[in-house]
Amino acid sequence: MSVNLEPSQSPYQLLGGEAALRKLVNCFYDLMDSDAQWHTPLRVMHPEDLSESKEKLFLFLSGWLGGPDLYVQKFGHPRLRARHASFPVNNQARDQWMECMLEAMKRQAIAPEVHEHLQTALQRTADAMRNC
């Protein structure tokens, strides 16, 4: 089921803008780093220091959600499939990513209509990253 959000506001704005997005991304990576259920294969695909990963996800999601297109300004087109090609993204990795992100969203108390919209859009994108 797809959710129709108010057309005058982007998902970025409805989420709460930059501060809320940074909080969500930090929560996601903190969960991934601290909870064993997301260790293999998800956590092991990432570098030990998650600072750059956090920043890149924040920059990407900013534009992807309708906010400032920070990732494109800094790195050019995201080319998600190409950038993830060197990582074995199978169903388990996709599912772990989604479960971890959904838990982060839950902990941020995102409004139900925004949560549903994000879940649907993120699931589609995560599914497209599978490469094995």
User: CA-to-CA distance for 84 and 80, rounded, in angstroms?
Assistant: 6
Domain extents for the chain? 12-128
Class of domain 12-128: mainly alpha
- Residue 112 to residue 64: CA distance in whole angstroms: 19
Q: What is the dihedral of CA 7, 117, 58, 43, to 10 degrees?
A: -170
CA–CA distance, 41 with 92 (Å, rounded to integer): 7
**Which residues, in sequence order, are CB contacts of 93 under 8 Å at separation 6+?**
41, 42, 45, 87, 130
**Nearest 10 degrees: CA dihedral of 51, 84, 127, 71?**
50
E strands in the chain: none
For 6-51, write each residue's pLDDT tens digit.
567 999 999 999 999 999 999 999 999 999 999 999 999 999 999 9
Helix (H) or strand (E) holding 108: none
pLDDT in tens, 37-93: 999 999 999 999 999 999 999 999 999 999 999 999 999 999 999 999 999 999 999
Query: pTM for the whole thing?
Result: 0.91
